Structure 1
Amino acid sequence: MSDSKSVKKSEPQSKMIKYISWIATVTAILMYVSYIPQIGNNLAGDKGSPIQPLVAAINCTLWVVYGFFKNPRDWPLVLANFPGIIFGLITFLTAL
């Protein structure tokens, strides 16, 4: 009897976790897209520090590799961190 209650209780919890993962994916993408103004400043000669975007790109690369090779694949994790690789590297390179 307690098993059927735990299954019913975990279904809404599972849905909630799925929604949270996709909301977190969107906010992570927005976080990395927010590098665009810094890239513009870097290109205009007002250079920022290259360290943080480089570390972010490395961190995102590790998370993308982890999420992609995890079984089953963790697509929200991969999609959330992939833009960080691109925008982090662009921000890093333009800050040099």
Structure 2
Amino acid sequence: MDKFIKYLSWIATITAILMYVSYIPQIANNLNGQKGNPIQPVVAAINCTLWTSYGFLKRPRDYPIVIANFPGVIFGLIAFLTSI
């Protein structure tokens, strides 16, 4: 069961990263003048900041949580800043 949980955590990490990388088309649209709604990306960035902090400050550190959510901080903030 421990092996399953480990694989599950890394699969979830990869899908979370893909979810936040999917902001790239919205960012491109924002930069091309087709502004998207800024609320969802800023809330995602806040949420990801909290989860990244939790995973990093927890002992032992929970690196799948940190790795999964850190891109959300970056891409969420970029999507937000380019949409305002």
Q: Which has the higher contact order (CA 8 A, sep 6+)?
A: 2
One-letter amino acid of the structure 1 residue matched with residue 54 of structure 2: Y
Structure 2 residue 43 is matched with structure 1 residue 55? yes
Which ranges in structure 2 are unaligned for 5 or more consecutive residues? Answer: none
Quote the RMSD (CA, aligned, Å): 0.3
For normalisation by structure 1, the TM-score amounts to 0.87
Larger radius of gyration: 1
Aligned match of 2:18 = 30
Within 1, Cα distance between the matches of 2:44 and 2:36?
A: 14
In structure 1, the residue corresponding to 2:61 is in which secondary structure?
Answer: coil
Runs of 4+ in 1 over 3 A off after TM superposition: none
Listed as ranges, the matches of 1:1-96 within 5 Å are 13-96=1-84
For normalisation by structure 2, the TM-score amounts to 0.99
Which ranges in structure 1 are unaligned for 5 or more consecutive residues? Answer: 1-12
